[in-house]
Structures are given as C-alpha cells and as structure tokens.
Structure 1
Amino acid sequence: MLREVAEKYYEQGYNCAEAMLRAGNEYYNLQLHDSDMRMVAAFGGGFQSGDICGALSGSACIISCKYIETKAHDNQEELKAITQKLMDTFEARMSSKLCSVIKPIYYTPEVKCRNTVGLSAEVLESVIHEFEEQK
C-alpha cells in the first residue's frame, strides 16, 4: 500500500510533500531522481506558511508525473478531472486543504504529521485506482 511507503519516507525525516513524492516515485515507478524530488521541499508545512497541505501538493505532483508526458495542455481534460477528484476527496477526508486547519487535527508530538501523510496516501491511491478503472 502507498500509505506504508509514504509513512516510511516521512519517518526518515522527509516533510509531507517530500515523503509523498518519494513514495509515489517508488510505488508507481515514476523514475524520478533525487534531484527531481528536491523541488517539492518548499511545499512542506503548507508552503512553509500553513497554506495548501504539503501532502496534497506532493500528491498532485505524483498525478502530474504519472499522467503527463509532455505538458498539461496536451492532456488537459484528463488532468483536470483527476486533479479535481484528488482535491475534492482530500478535502472531504481531511476536512480542509489547508495545513493550518489539518495540522491541529492530525498532528501529534509523537508522530508529527505521519497521520496526515498516511491518510493522504490512502486518498491518492484510491483516486488513482478509481481513475484507472474508469479509463
């Protein structure tokens, strides 16, 4: 399960976005390099400001890597559909898309944001699974 892989990376010290992208790279064989994954470091902590959850941002990056071969405009309708499904499903599951709202609910000093990462991975995996079944 993607959740276990994402939690593994989070426990290695990667932030929410980094853990999600590394997990997606491994789980979906996206063939990204370490240098590619550094690009999402600033997404953690809701873009370091409590804004859009880093785990959600990392999930969107996985969708892009998985489904876009050249650029978004070449596959705009499909990208929009799966990304909107991700956003809606994530918000329904987590009560918000904002780190500043999610963190007080799921963060604990013992596990930090591991719960958020795990639940985000479950959301992403279900969205991708449903999307692939509908194709």
Structure 2
Amino acid sequence: MLKDLAAKYYQQGYNCAETIIRAGNEYYNLRLDENAFRITGAFGGGLQVGDVCGALTGSACVISAKYIETKAHDCPDLKPLMLKLVRAFQTRFSSRLCAQIKAKFHNKEVRCLNTVTLAAEVMEQVIAEYEQDKQSK
C-alpha cells in the first residue's frame, strides 16, 4: 500500500513532501530521478514556514508527474482532480496548513509520520476514484 511506502521513506529521514513524492514514484512507477525529488525539498514544513502542508504539495507533485504529459494547460482533468485532492485532504485534516495540521497530528515520538501516512491514503483514494471514473466514461 502507498501508506506503507510513505512510512518507509519518512522513517528514512525525508520530509513530508519528499516522502510523498518518493512513495508515489515507487507506487505508481513514475520513473522520477533524484533531481525531481530534490525539487520537492523546500515544500516540507509547509514551504518551511508552516504554510501549505508538504504532504499536500507532494501529492500535487505526484498527480502532476502521473497525469501531465506536456504542460498543465494541456491536461483538462488536472483542475478537477486537484480540486478533489484538496477537498479530500481538507476534509481529512480539517486544514491545508502545516502549522494547524501539526498541532493536531504531530507528536515527538513519530513527528509527522501520521500525517504522511494519512495523506498517502487520501491521495491513493482520490487517484483510484479518478481512474475508476475515467474507465467508466
């Protein structure tokens, strides 16, 4: 499961965004390289300032890598897919902001492990529903 891969990478010391993109890369076989992973580093910790959660921005990166073939403007499903992701994330965490999520889900023993595994579940569900809807059309 995606959440197990997320736990594995988080426990290796990657931040929330790095964890989600690495787990997504492995789970969805995105074929990303180390350069792509490094790009997400500054997204951790809510862009390093407690803003938008790194697990959410990492999830957006996975969706981009999975579905955008050339550029975002040529991917008509990107906006509705991201809307589903953001809404599902907001519902699960009651926020999109790292500082607010951290206040509820972070603890000293596991740090943000709970956040990345729950975010992985949210992303996996959103992608699965999207793929199912796409097949039924």
Match of 1:56 in 2: 56
What's the CA shift string for 1:45-83, capped at 9, x where partnerless?
0000000000000000000000001001111x3000110
Q: How many residues are treated as equivalent by the alignment?
A: 134
Is 1:97 the counterpart of 2:96? The answer is yes
RMSD of aligned C-alpha atoms? 0.5
TM alignment of 1:1-135, pairs within 5 A: 1-75=1-75, 77-135=76-134
Q: Deviations over 1:67-126 (max 9, x none)?
A: 001001111x30001100000000000010000100010001000000000000000000
Q: Aligned AA for 2:113?
A: R
- Give ranges in structure 2 of 5+ residues lacking alignment: none
The alpha-carbon deviation at position 32 of structure 1 amounts to 0.3
Distance in structure 2 (CA, Å) of the matches to 1:105 and 1:17: 18
TM-score, normalisation: structure 1: 0.98
Structure 1 unaligned spans of 5+: none
Counting aligned pairs with the same residue, the percent is: 59
Q: Aligned equivalents of 1:53 and 1:129: distance in 2? A: 22
Alpha-carbon shift at residue 36 of structure 1 (Å): 1.1
